[in-house]
Amino acid sequence: MAGLKINNVTKHFSDFAALSDVTLDIADGEFVAVLGPSGCGKTTLLRLVAGFEQLDKGEIVIGGKMMSGGRANVPPENRKVGIVFQNYALWPHMNVAENVGYSLKVAKVDRATREKRIEEALALVNLQGFGERRPANLSGGQRQRVALARCLVAAPSLVLFDEPLANLDVHLRASMEDEFAAFHKRTGTTIIYITHDQAEAMALADRIAVLDHGRLAQFATPRTLYEEPANEMVASFIAQGMVLPAEILSGAREGFCQVRILGQEAVLRCRPDEIARNDAKVCVRADDLDVVETGGIAIRVKRSIYRGGGSRIEAFPVERPDIDLHFDLPDPARLEEGAETRLAIRTGWVIPQAEGAGH
Ligand SMILES: Nc1ncnc2c1ncn2[C@@H]1O[C@H](COP(=O)(O)OP(=O)(O)OP(=O)(O)O)[C@@H](O)[C@H]1O
């Protein structure tokens, strides 16, 4: 297995910057998800690592070996990178073992070695004994595992997953998530996992790289992304954070600041270098808001959406109808459209002033 360094990588298509100055240092055996809205550059990054695209600037180093950058441009077949696509495209006329072993056959690996490696690869994805089956007689999840075995049989130094679960139904996705996590634990393979599903990224990855318009917005653990978003984009993208204007009344003390938000004072988490300022933005989530009888922020309900066991309430501050708020109201409490109540902010995070990919 191998680590991966993506250093200051830039890629243009004509004059459109698909990736700008992206740097990611991924450790040997790490599971990294690359997350971001459609068109942010995820697939382009994957194609650059695999060697299907050439970069304009920067370098890509796999296992200490320069693959792209400077004079290097190692072709895809020599990078030892395995790829599992969303569209797993197994050959229907071949059985599972033939599908898995095809690349070895092309590489003229002898029959006995081939059979041994196919057997090992199928064991890695928990498909022992499935070698004789045709793809048509497998479930969607099993097919995806055959695709993974087909990539593992070539003993890749790292595996790239491109939205591997996008075509599967919700239940199968959950069980495949478990399978991928177990696979990673068992093998210690370095994994780069492209997805636009943040729950999937949160559940699986050691660290998540969030891309925004081709730039790295933040590269951090799931917990840090959620609790300490580095900028407004990450704050609002991860778990539907609400970004609100605020005034910092006193600088950081032991990780907290006194803040005024929509007229209400609250104590929020912040970076240790945070100072008093009146142009701050804070991130609060539905869980951070409590309905109160007195104090807090006066709000009016726009919409109530029943969610089983409670409702998601969409509302706005009476004094600031331009700001959207949302929170969850457990049954049996109800708030209908037009109702007025008050919300207190229990906690939240002061979004750092400086842009950058914090850790
Ligand atoms: N070969 C190409 N020629 C021109 N533009 C391209 C090419 N490939 C990608 N792009 C553009 O680069 C941007 C990034 O594309 P990319 O496929 O990497 O995004 P993505 O994050 O994977 O999106 P999605 O989640 O929708 O798959 C998009 O605006 C896309 O239109």
165 lies in the same domain as 95: yes
pLDDT of residue 342: 97
122 lies in the same domain as 246: no
Domain interval for residue 16: 4-227
Task: Return the residue matching tokens 């055959």.
Answer: 146
263 lies in the same domain as 209: no
131 lies in the same domain as 270: no
Task: Return the residue matching tokens 């840090």.
Answer: 224
- Let me know: does 236 contact 325? Beta carbons within 8 Å: no
216 lies in the same domain as 256: no
In sequence order, what are the beta bridge partners of 191?
31, 159
199 lies in the same domain as 286: no
Burial profile 335-356: b = 16 or more Cβ within 10 angstroms, e = fewer: beeeeebbbbbeebbbbbeeee
28 lies in the same domain as 145: yes
**Domain finish residue from 227, 250, 267:** 227
Taking CA atoms only, the protein residue closest to ligand 1 atom 26 is: 38
Q: Which atom of ligand 1 is nearest to the CA of 194?
A: 22
pLDDT of residue 357: 42
- Ligand 1 centroid to Cα of residue 287, in Å, is 34
- Ligand 1 centroid to Cα of residue 43, in Å, is 7
220 lies in the same domain as 250: no
179 lies in the same domain as 260: no
In which residue ranges of the chain is pLDDT below 70? 1, 87-88, 354-359
pLDDT of residue 164: 79
Taking residue 167's Cβ as centre, other Cβ atoms within 10 Å add up to 15
Amino acid at 45: L
Pocket test for ligand 1, best of 9, 13, 162, 163 (most atoms within 8 A of CB): 13
Spatial separation of the C-alpha atoms in residues 73 and 218, rounded to whole Å: 28
pLDDT of residue 204: 92
Domain-embedded: residue 115: yes
Q: Which atom of ligand 1 is nearest to the CA of 47?
A: 18
187 lies in the same domain as 269: no
34 CB less than 6 Å from ligand 1? no
Pocket test for ligand 1, best of 6, 9, 34, 43 (most atoms within 8 A of CB): 43
271 CB less than 6 Å from ligand 1? no
Domain-embedded: residue 359: no
pLDDT of residue 290: 95
- Let me know: does 349 contact 227? Beta carbons within 8 Å: yes
**Domain finish residue from 204, 227, 250:** 227
Task: Return the residue matching tokens 């697939």.
Answer: 43
Domain-embedded: residue 337: yes
332 lies in the same domain as 191: no
Domain-embedded: residue 237: no
CATH of the domain at 283: 2.40.50.140
Task: Return the residue matching tokens 């309905």.
Answer: 291
Give this complex's ipTM. 0.95
Domain-embedded: residue 345: yes
- Let me know: does 336 contact 357? Beta carbons within 8 Å: no
Spatial separation of the C-alpha atoms in residues 70 and 76, rounded to whole Å: 17
Number of separate domains in the chain = 2
Nearest-10 crossing angle of helices 140-152, 170-187: 30
Domain-embedded: residue 356: no
Q: Report which DSSP code applies to 136.
A: G
352 CB less than 6 Å from ligand 1? no
Strands 242-253, 277-284: pairing is antiparallel
CATH of the domain at 223: 3.40.50.300
Q: Give the 3-state secondary structure percentages of the chain, helix then strand then coil, rounded to 5.
A: 25, 40, 35
Spatial separation of the C-alpha atoms in residues 127 and 1, rounded to whole Å: 22
**Coil/strand/helix, residue 58:** strand
pLDDT of residue 264: 94
Domain-embedded: residue 355: no
Spatial separation of the C-alpha atoms in residues 103 and 282, rounded to whole Å: 52
**Domain finish residue from 159, 194, 227:** 227
Query: Tens of pLDDT along 106-133?
Result: 888 899 999 999 998 898 888 999 999 9
C-alpha to C-alpha distances, 359 to 76, 192, 218, nearest whole angstrom: 31, 18, 7
247 lies in the same domain as 216: no
Taking CA atoms only, the protein residue closest to ligand 1 atom 25 is: 38
- Ligand 1 centroid to Cα of residue 276, in Å, is 41
Q: Which atom of ligand 1 is nearest to the CA of 211?
A: 21
Q: Report which DSSP code applies to 250.
A: E
40 CB less than 6 Å from ligand 1? yes
Amino acid at 265: E
pLDDT of residue 355: 53
18 CB less than 6 Å from ligand 1? yes
Strands 264-269, 277-284: pairing is unpaired
Domain-embedded: residue 249: yes
Pocket test for ligand 1, best of 40, 83, 85 (most atoms within 8 A of CB): 40
